[in-house]
Structure 1
Amino acid sequence: MADKQLLPPLGFIAIDVHFHRPPGDAFNESTWPFPLIHIQAEGSSESEVVTKGAYDAALIDRFVEAGLKLAARGCVGIITSCGFLAMAQQELSARLPIPIATSSLLQIPSLLAFLPPGKTIGILTYDDARLGPDHLTKIGLSCGAVSRTRIVGAPANGHLRRLIQHGAPYVHADIEKELVEIARNMVIEYSDIGGILLECTQMPPFAGAIQRAVRLPVYDVYTMGCWFYSGLQRNRPLVWGAVESS
């Protein structure tokens, strides 16, 4: 890939919340191998975005406003700060002038295609009481595809939820232990899981530990964002060498 600073930026629409975001978190500019410009959807909240039902028009408008600002600043595409925003994928892609990938959940159709028919995708989410089939059908999954998913969430009073909801101190080891335990229990409970998808944009720093624990493919917003950007900005890889003359 070309020098990072010479590449066009990817845009990032964040919910209006504030807590520690280490390298690996999708909000952190150092996470990505390309420039990132982030902007907040003013007035949005965790409880407003992390929900079962459809979003109201005012919330969609705030994300559209933020997306238009990112497009005006030269972003070639946009991602967002919460996997639950899969619920807004259709509305936002219809109203923005540049491509948007709202959620790591958008990878599910491809991941299911990679797996044998009898295997499922385990979705490790921020809140399994609120993430459900409506989010998956909103991004085009059929009922048959939805039935090949297994959704398990972080504990309501666990380290990850306290960090995001209440700004609790960030302790990497505590969150890692929590998520690894959930993943281990998930693959024990559902022996048909052939891969894991991390819904939450705060989870990529723990993807490696989760994979070592369960020994399965693990995908998240980082894998989605890198794939998404790779088509938005094509660059000849250095390892290919110079273009051969005819």
Structure 2
Amino acid sequence: MTTAPLPPLGFLAVEVSIHRPPGDPFNPSTWPFPLIHTLVPGSSEAQIVTSTTYPPAFIERFVSAGKELAAKGCIGIITSCGFLALAQRELASKLPIPIATSALVQIPSICAFLGSEAIVGVLTYDEERLGVAHLEALGVDAGRVRIKGMPKGGHLRRVIQEGEKYDEIRMEQEMIDAVGELLEKVTGSGDKLGAIVLECTQMPPYAGAIQRRVGVPVYDVYTMGMWFYSGLVRRKPVQWEI
């Protein structure tokens, strides 16, 4: 069994400065392997969320930052905003190491896990902005997906947009309420909810509470990052040793 240090995962951080508890992918304690951050200049929340296409200069800033991470020894890259699914194909084609831009990249596999009649619910930061373009960028059948966003005047939106003081109790309850509305949206139309994907990188700390509310599998950037890294670095598990 090898005891060499694990190589780092790279993290492309957008220009949002908020509290990031364990479970948030920006927090190094979230992961059982090293994490290296780099900030992508000119990557504001407003530009990432409101765009349906990204200009070449925007993409090139992410490519440049990603190449810096590769030069530092990172073996793969994730990002701090699920809306960057829109740039998945372009960034993957331009970077020298693999990149997984969003928790949403898991949806094709999740659809394969479930029966054809099951719906994948997506809880997102902004349902008015997350839509068909993001799903199509990942080869997702939009008919299998229902999207529910966090409230416009809610705590999560105010924390990110206005710098409101982070309150974990309020944040958890807001997400539980929102996923409950998503469940009602799906079942109310006669469909079956098969799984939930949490788009926003601030949501994983509350995944357990969300799952207790809806009772289905819940995926997020943490589940994506763990699976992603597990293929980047293969080591023989200790329980396999004879």
TM-score (norm 2): 0.95
Q: Does 1:226 align with 2:226?
A: yes
Deviation at 1:52, TM superposition (A): 4.3
1:58 corresponds to? 57
1:186 corresponds to? 182
What is the CA–CA distance in structure 2 between the aligned matches of 1:52 and 1:195, rounded to whole Å?
27
Alignment of 1:231-246 (within 5 A): 231-242=231-242
What is the CA–CA distance in structure 2 between the aligned matches of 1:166 and 1:240, rounded to whole Å?
50
Structure 1 stretches lacking a partner, 5+ long: none
What is the CA–CA distance in structure 1 between the aligned matches of 2:134 and 2:157, rounded to whole Å?
20
1:148 corresponds to? 144
What is the CA–CA distance in structure 2 between the aligned matches of 1:94 and 1:118, rounded to whole Å?
33
What secondary structure sits across from 2:212 in the alignment?
A: helix
Q: Quick one: which amino acid aligns to residue 207 of structure 2?
A: A
Structure 2 stretches lacking a partner, 5+ long: none
Alignment of 1:101-140 (within 5 A): 101-140=100-139
- Residues 52 and 134 in structure 1, CA contact (< 8 A), matched pair in contact too: no
Alignment of 1:1-246 (within 5 A): 6-141=5-140, 145-191=141-187, 192-242=192-242
Partner deviation per Cα, 1:169-224 (whole Å, 9 max, x = no partner)? 11111010000011112112212211100000110000000001111100000000
Identity of aligned residues (%): 58
Q: Quick one: which amino acid aligns to residue 237 of structure 1?
A: P
Partner deviation per Cα, 1:84-106 (whole Å, 9 max, x = no partner)? 00000111011100000001000
TM-score (norm 1): 0.94
Q: Quick one: which amino acid aligns to residue 195 of structure 2?
A: G
Partner deviation per Cα, 1:13-66 (whole Å, 9 max, x = no partner)? 010121111111010000011100011101210001112410111111110111
Ranges of 4+ aligned residues in structure 1 off by more than 3 Å: none
What secondary structure sits across from 2:22 in the alignment?
A: coil
What secondary structure sits across from 2:148 in the alignment?
A: strand
What is the CA–CA distance in structure 2 between the aligned matches of 1:48 and 1:193, rounded to whole Å?
31
Q: Quick one: which amino acid aligns to residue 15 of structure 1?
A: V
- Residues 126 and 161 in structure 1, CA contact (< 8 A), matched pair in contact too: yes
Q: Quick one: which amino acid aligns to residue 188 of structure 1?
A: E
Q: Quick one: which amino acid aligns to residue 176 of structure 2?
A: V
- Residues 123 and 199 in structure 1, CA contact (< 8 A), matched pair in contact too: yes
What is the CA–CA distance in structure 2 between the aligned matches of 1:184 and 1:126, rounded to whole Å?
15
Partner deviation per Cα, 1:107-150 (whole Å, 9 max, x = no partner)? 00000011111111000000000000100101122xxx210100
- Residues 24 and 31 in structure 1, CA contact (< 8 A), matched pair in contact too: yes
What count of residue pairs does the alignment treat as equivalent? 238
What secondary structure sits across from 1:147 in the alignment?
A: helix
What is the CA–CA distance in structure 1 between the aligned matches of 2:231 and 2:195, rounded to whole Å?
24
RMSD value, Cα: 1.4
What is the CA–CA distance in structure 1 between the aligned matches of 2:198 and 2:40, rounded to whole Å?
23
What is the CA–CA distance in structure 2 between the aligned matches of 1:44 and 1:2, rounded to whole Å?
39
- Residues 122 and 195 in structure 1, CA contact (< 8 A), matched pair in contact too: yes
